[in-house]
Amino acid sequence: MLERFRQFWSNVWAPLGDLLLRLGVKPDWVTWVGTIGVSAGALIFFPQGEFLIGVLVVTAFVFSDIIDGYMARKSGQSSKWGAFLDSTLDRVGDAAIFGGLLLYYTTSDAKADLGDPRIYLYLSLACLVLGSLTSYARARAESLGMTAKGGIAERSDRLVAILVMTGFSGMFDAPFLREITLWALAVASTITVIQRMLMVHKQAVADPGLDS
């Protein structure tokens, strides 16, 4: 759903991308810096319960995912390596966000309005695993000559939902906002994996020779 806004944000960050290119910065460098920033923001601040500042730091770096793509296209440096690096490091950043929440729920300071905090440790783990599985399903399908894009909770949807609601939970000291989101994402991610499996099954049945 949120992929439609990618072009808008590309236009917003285009001036910065142009400046970085003039300074000789490579798109791959931006990819690495963005991933390190997202991971550090999530893994340093979330476990301490500093959700608002953690989200602000993560958000500041998460736009690198758009900037590096713009820079690669603008400079003619798009490559299979760049696409592979970007997709791989995206998984690192996503895992760090849910991993940071998971670590928070292992602490004695963890608060939960909707039940035992330990439940949200498992939900954070479920979101981490299912998010990676969603991406793997698409990548594996494409490697077999099929497609498995779509579903009710694509990466951008999951990322925006957890960052916005985690930020609000910290701003208003309202853990239930984060908790409801974890429940919703765990369910939505499960459905998305099933949807992608059904997409692949339909294509495989229609043309058994696709994987040969």
User: How far apart are the C-alpha atoms of 34 and 45, rounded to whole Å?
Assistant: 16
Which residues are the active-site residues? 90
CA separation for the pair 192, 151 (Å, rounded): 5
Residues, the chain: 212
The contacts of residue 34 (CB under 8 Å, 6+ apart) are 61, 62, 63, 64, 65, 67, 68, 89, 93
Give the span between the Cα atoms of 62 and 86, in whole angstroms: 12
**Number of neighbouring beta carbons within 10 Å of residue 136:** 14
